[in-house]
């Protein structure tokens, strides 16, 4: 290629023959062939492609479709070269020939040097514009992250609401049960039963529930009806209050007859006292389980967010995985089966725990989305020499080879706007590779996709 080939192109207006010669000497002439790709979307934009003649179509992958976004068919139009100002710049589309011709392929570092030498002000302007675009993209990503945070918060609120509501209901019922218990005690005292009778009644109470398994709901309903009928025959009015706790504790008609024989005229307050104590015990158990569940959720949130902890610490990776599963519990409840296969010999490692939890969130969320919330997610941890391996395997349809090959490219995604965690596999890879000295790989075929993370025992120093 000669200077005369470029002189008539408006893009190069104002350049001297010597300047055009310098540019050509540092560049390469590339022939355009119809159907042949010159550069690919998502690859490092290491070259600036300037059309001399011919035509190039710009293709972009949107979801699973290859879409033509435009074309370069006027001499002087260009693509790429972003790494002249951004070390992470990538091609925004794939350039595919549609008409024979030529392009001038200029290395990005040469472009930067020539711009700085010939047009220093323009160089500063371009750098500023590109920096602004990057800032806008970063802000958009932060907004996606906030949306994801809101989704996690809503899921967590749902998880906490269930035990909180159960505890509230139990406390309300506990108030009624305690009032009934005190009323029964007062009536027993007014009936002047002896201390021996009360001790015997308490012994009968202790018998209930010993060694009995949780009854089947149908059997429990039948037992309640049977005891209720017995109470009705003995002119006990509050059968609706007494029968359910007695049936749940395994009381039989033989037990009821023994209690009636012991209590005589005080049979109603005596059975009401027994039923109330059983109800109080059951309700206290429900409150205990509910508050325990809330405490576990709070502990999981603290573990997930790494509140009040140093950024780098010695951790058990399974703890972070489990806290992440809690945070994503609302997505795993219905059609997803989680199989844990944690190696007993996996040692603790030094890591940035909060960052790893972000990675686990992204990988689990991706797996659930791939399975369309119905399938099996297997999580495996094991040792391999001086490294530990964490694997997430889903039973989704698998990734097409072209998607798997680009999965770690910056800004690449197959998800619609507003879906996903907002993290991106490129950032997940950066966390694993740059902050921990590890690797992350994908192996996929129809019906099974495995993402493997390999981590050393100690992360590499941040550089």
pLDDT in tens, 142-180: 555 555 555 566 666 767 777 888 888 888 888 888 988
**279 and 317 share one domain:** no
In a domain, 137, yes or no: no
Assess whether 190 and 268 both reside in one domain.
Answer: yes
Q: Give the single-character DSSP code of 243.
A: H
Q: What is the residue range of 341's domain?
A: 309-456
CATH number of the domain to which 432 belongs: 3.30.565.10
Q: Does 303 fall in a domain? A: no
Are 291 and 328 in a shared domain?
A: no
Q: Which two tokens stand for residue 111?
A: 């472009």
Dist CA 53 CA 75 (whole Å):
6
Rg of the Cα trace of the chain? 36
**Number of domains the chain contains:** 3
Q: What is the DSSP letter of 44?
A: B
H or E, element range at 453? strand 448-456
The string of pLDDT tens digits covering residues 64-82 is 567 777 789 899 998 888 7
Asked if the structure places residue 452 within a domain, the reply is yes
Question: How far, in Å, are 48, 181, 316, 349, 382 from residue 365 at the CA level?
Answer: 37, 50, 21, 24, 22
User: Has residue 135 been placed in a domain?
Assistant: no
DSSP secondary structure string, 426-452? HHHHHHHHHHHS-EEEEEEETTEEEEE
pLDDT, position 100:
92
**Is the domain of 180 the same as that of 292?**
yes
Both 10 and 57 in a single domain?
yes
* Domain presence at residue 182: yes
Where does the pLDDT of residue 94 fall: very low under 50, low under 70, confident under 90, or very high at 90 and above?
very high
What band does 455 get if pLDDT is binned at 50, 70 and 90? very high
Contacts 24+ apart (CB under 8 A), 330-334: 330/154, 330/155, 330/156, 330/158, 330/159, 331/155, 331/365, 331/368, 331/373, 332/368, 332/377, 334/373, 334/374
99 close to 73: Cβ distance less than 8 angstroms: yes
| DSSP-assigned beta bridge partners for residue 47 | 107
The proportion of the chain whose per-residue pLDDT surpasses 70, expressed as a percent, equals 82
Question: Do 248 and 320 share a domain, yes or no?
Answer: no
Q: Which two tokens stand for residue 56?
A: 């190039």
CATH number at residue 39: 2.60.120.10
pLDDT tens sequence across 290-337: 888 777 777 666 666 554 444 678 889 998 899 888 878 877 877 889
Q: Does 292 lie in the same domain as 364?
A: no
By CB atoms closer than 10 A (0-12, 13-18, 19+), residue 210 is: exposed
d(CA 256, CA 246): 9
pLDDT above 70 (res 411): no
| 192-218 tens-digit pLDDT | 788 898 999 989 998 886 655 566 788
């Amino acid at each position: 290629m000669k200077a005369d080939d470029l002189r008539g192109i408006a893009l190069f207006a104002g350049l001297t023959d010597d300047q055009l010669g310098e540019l050509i000497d540092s560049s390469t002439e590339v022939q355009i062939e119809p159907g042949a790709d010159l550069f690919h979307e998502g690859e490092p934009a290491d070259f600036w492609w300037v059309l001399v003649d011919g035509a190039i179509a710009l293709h972009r992958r949107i979801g699973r479709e290859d879409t033509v976004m435009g074309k370069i068919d006027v001499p002087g139009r260009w693509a790429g070269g972003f790494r002249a100002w951004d070390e992470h710049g990538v091609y925004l589309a794939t350039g595919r020939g549609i008409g024979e011709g030529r392009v001038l392929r200029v290395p990005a570092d040469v472009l930067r040097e020539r711009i700085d030498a010939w047009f220093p002000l323009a160089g500063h302007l371009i750098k500023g514009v590109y920096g602004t675009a990057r800032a806008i993209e970063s802000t958009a990503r932060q907004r996606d992250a906030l949306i994801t945070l809101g989704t996690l918060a809503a899921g967590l609120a749902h998880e906490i609401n269930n035990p909180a509501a159960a505890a509230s209901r139990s406390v309300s019922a506990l108030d009624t049960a305690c009032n009934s218990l005190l009323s029964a005690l007062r009536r027993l005292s007014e009936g002047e039963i002896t201390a021996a009778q009360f001790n015997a009644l308490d012994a009968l109470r202790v018998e209930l529930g010993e060694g009995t398994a949780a009854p089947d709901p149908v059997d429990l309903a039948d037992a309640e009806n049977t005891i209720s009928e017995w109470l009705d025959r003995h002119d006990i009015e509050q059968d609706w209050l007494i029968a359910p706790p007695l049936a749940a504790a395994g009381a039989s008609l033989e037990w009821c007859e023994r209690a009636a024989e012991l209590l005589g005229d005080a049979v109603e307050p005596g059975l009401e006292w027994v039923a109330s104590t059983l109800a109080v015990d059951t309700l206290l158990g429900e409150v205990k389980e509910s508050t325990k569940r809330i405490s576990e959720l709070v502990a999981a949130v603290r573990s997930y967010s790494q509140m009040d902890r140093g950024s780098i610490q010695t951790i058990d990776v399974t703890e972070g995985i489990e806290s992440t599963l809690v945070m994503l519990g609302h997505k795993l409840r219905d059609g997803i089966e989680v199989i844990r296969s944690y190696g007993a010999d996996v040692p603790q490692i030094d890591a940035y725990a909060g960052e790893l939890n972000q990675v686990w969130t992204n990988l689990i969320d991706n797996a659930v989305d791939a399975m369309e919330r119905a399938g099996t997610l297997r999580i495996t941890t094991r040792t391999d020499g001086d490294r530990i391996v964490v694997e997430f395997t889903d039973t989704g349809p698998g990734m097409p080879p072209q998607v798997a090959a680009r999965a770690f490219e910056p800004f690449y995604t197959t998800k619609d706007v507003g879906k996903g965690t907002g993290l991106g596999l490129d950032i997940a890879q950066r966390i694993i590779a740059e902050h921990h000295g590890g690797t992350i790989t994908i192996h996929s075929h129809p019906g099974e996709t495995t993402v493997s993370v390999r981590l050393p025992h100690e992360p590499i120093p941040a550089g």
